[in-house]
Structure 1
Amino acid sequence: MRCLHVWEEEYVVRHLTDDYGNQVKIWLRGSVTVQPPGSDTCCPGCGAYHVTSFPTGYLSRHPELVPMPAPEPEPAAELPVVRDVVRAPMVRATLPGRLLLAVGLPVALFVGYELFENMTRVVHPH
């Protein structure tokens, strides 16, 4: 609905009865069980989750909705090649290092606070 991209997907629907006598629909696409159309479907054009489904054959009855293929871009003028630019790769902390920091720092602060409280506690004789 956001970018007006139109596409078709084919499903096989199997109607089954479960052990309790309830009617069940199983949706298959390429022999793989999938969610029914319309649930968690996102647009392949823009990624939006607000999509609408139409009945089978809707696009064949409305060819004006079928998107036209994008025209081939004209080749751009050749730009000079710059080979002197070198960028250093970005270095991130590894997962164990970040995990140790995320878990170890709060534990170290808690233990340090408890030690401080125990050392500064005044013992009153009874």
Structure 2
Amino acid sequence: MTEEFSTSETWPMECLRCWHVWQEKYVVRHLTDAHGHDVVVWLRGGTPVQPPWSGTSCPGCGHSRVAAFPPGSRPIPVAEPAAVAVQPVPAPLPAPAHDRTGGRRRRGIGERAVYGLIRQPALLCALLGIVFLLVTGFELVERVVIHH
């Protein structure tokens, strides 16, 4: 292999778990092999390593989900959330069992949302099941009637 050129690159990194930000320095060697193919070798401390976007772990927490930013760019530091005083939330008042609607209690907005979420997937599954049965039925009738 013949060396064409080497560059020194500094890559900003950010852990996607603990949001730790750091930089890694690499020497990038651009080589040409005996067949004329370009080869790129990444070195850190003189040792061959994976490229920055592959195989990097966070030095803070050891997690492997790390974002590598191209040289010359910086990750935007994530601001720490401000401390918020936690105050106890008063218990909700019990809803009346009956109201002026003839003994039936109206559902609240939250209850409607929950019931709506439960009903929609069931309705969708039922409609898909009906379509499946219709298509299967037509295929069965077609095979029995046409082939007999």
Q: What TM-score, normalized by structure 2, do the two folds share?
A: 0.39
Q: Normalized per residue, which structure has more strand?
A: 2
